[in-house]
A = this chain, B = another copy of it.
Amino acid sequence: MYTGMVIGTVVATRKDEKLIGCKLLFTQPLNINKNPMGDPIITVDTVGAGIGEYVIYTKGTAARYAARKLDAPIDAAIIGIIDNVDIYLDVFEKK
């Protein structure tokens, strides 16, 4: 799974009917310093995430499980809102 920041919304009136009711959000992938890394993707929100929230997202078949829509054309979904991250970069110094 990956960390990201919710940065926007997408509206598509004409779409696969299995996406009806899915909230589509742009999520910007982040590195561990919370800086943007690579390009945003469109994710389905499954946890009530809002703009600016720091989230966990998943890709592939896992995203359809998250959305509880196994036959929908979904390949990315937000699955958690991050409260806290602890990083121990000194593990590389001890090597």
| A residues apposed to B, CB below 8 Å | 1-3, 5-16, 18-19, 24, 26, 31-32, 34, 36-37, 39-43, 46-48, 51-52, 56, 58-66, 71-77, 79-89, 91-92, 94-95
Residues of chain B lying within 8 A (CB to CB) of residue A84: 10-11
Interface pairs (26), CB distance under 8 Å: A1-B74, A3-B10, A7-B88, A7-B91, A10-B56, A10-B84, A11-B82, A11-B84, A12-B56, A14-B47, A15-B56, A16-B47, A16-B66, A16-B79, A16-B80, A19-B80, A34-B95, A42-B56, A46-B73, A51-B88, A52-B91, A58-B75, A62-B64, A62-B73, A63-B73, A73-B77
Q: How far is the CB of A89 from chain B (nearest CB, A)?
A: 6
